[in-house]
Amino acid sequence: MLDNITVIVGPTASGKTDMGVRIAKKIDAEIISADSMQIYKYMNIGTAKPTVDEMSGVPHYLIDEIDPSQEFSVANFREKSEVYINDILSRNKKPLIVGGTGLYINALVQPWNFTKTEPNHELRIEFENIAKEKGNDYLHNMLRKVDEISAHAIHPNNVKRVVRALEVYKETGKPKSQFDLESMKEQLKYNPIIMGINLNRDTLYSRIELRIDIMIKSGLVEEVQSLLDTGYSESLVSMQGLGYKEIIKYIKGEYSFEEAIEILKRDTRHFAKRQLTWFRRDNRIKWFNIEDYKDKEVMELDMIAYLRSKEIICEKRNARNDEECIRNR
């Protein structure tokens, strides 16, 4: 029988971190972060990384894991997550995955089999140069011509993923989306019980703007300047994250301070919208709307009750009930 893993998803600024800690303390869980930016050391303010106080004694993994100069792929995330999940389970604790990076979540809750195509660095440089010279949209249109499904799933500004999809096609003669479809035949390693935190658009956008205002007051500009002074290049994947690339342009004089903040708020709103679009495609997610609750405690109790009801379904050991568990995921 598959081991259960609990997953909490939602857009940025929706309160996932706080709710994750609350639930972890009640169900004796340890948290694995599924956030593509919190993985980096030294990048605290711009990633809204939880503080020691906010973690409230709950162990967190895949936070402050790698240097900003290192590359970290979805495959790396899955590999490291599985190590932590198995360790948590071996100590009779519960793994709780919390985050908003859809690709990371899918790596654990979908039967992805990452293509075995070895990286071709010459090809990558070639495609990256095309993006620099002719623009991200031009590169994205190249992908659309050979792999429309992947192009639809990948935003034009996510150059790294566009390049990877083009690289797979060039190396294998097959679109990456075909590999993805074939991999769906693989079996999941875990039984995911997925809960989502939702809130209306106006409330979400207000939270995003408030969070960014707090980031600025907390020293986001100084954090970015410190990273640059330390020698981290603005071209690094880590430094192209939201909150970093906009402030870099301000530091370089390409934006005024007001422009940088307004663009950061706008792009973060757009990012949250894309996150919701991504997660809403998964009908296994049980959504909890913040506006339906008078306080966090009631919402927390409802989420725990739902979790326990799903665990009961999947705790039966015979083959027939395992099938029932799979149907009810």
| 11 appears as a binding residue in the annotation | yes
| 36 appears as a binding residue in the annotation | no
Partnered with residue 33 across adjacent β-strands are 98
Average pLDDT over residues 22-36: 97
**pLDDT digit string, tens, across residues 213-270:** 999 999 999 999 999 999 999 989 899 999 999 999 999 999 999 999 999 999 999 9
Assess whether pLDDT exceeds 70 at residue 115: no
| 17 appears as a binding residue in the annotation | yes
| 15 appears as a binding residue in the annotation | yes
- Please tell me the predicted confidence (pLDDT) of residue 74: 86
| 115 appears as a binding residue in the annotation | no
| 16 appears as a binding residue in the annotation | yes
Assess whether pLDDT exceeds 70 at residue 63: yes
What domains, with CATH codes, occur in the chain? 3-112+190-218+276-327 (3.40.50.300), 121-183 (1.10.20.140)
Q: Is 0.75 surpassed by the pTM of this model?
A: yes
- Please tell me the predicted confidence (pLDDT) of residue 184: 59
Average pLDDT over residues 286-298: 95
Q: Each residue of 199-214: b (16+ CB within 10 Å) or e?
A: beeeebbebbbebbee
Assess whether pLDDT exceeds 70 at residue 78: yes
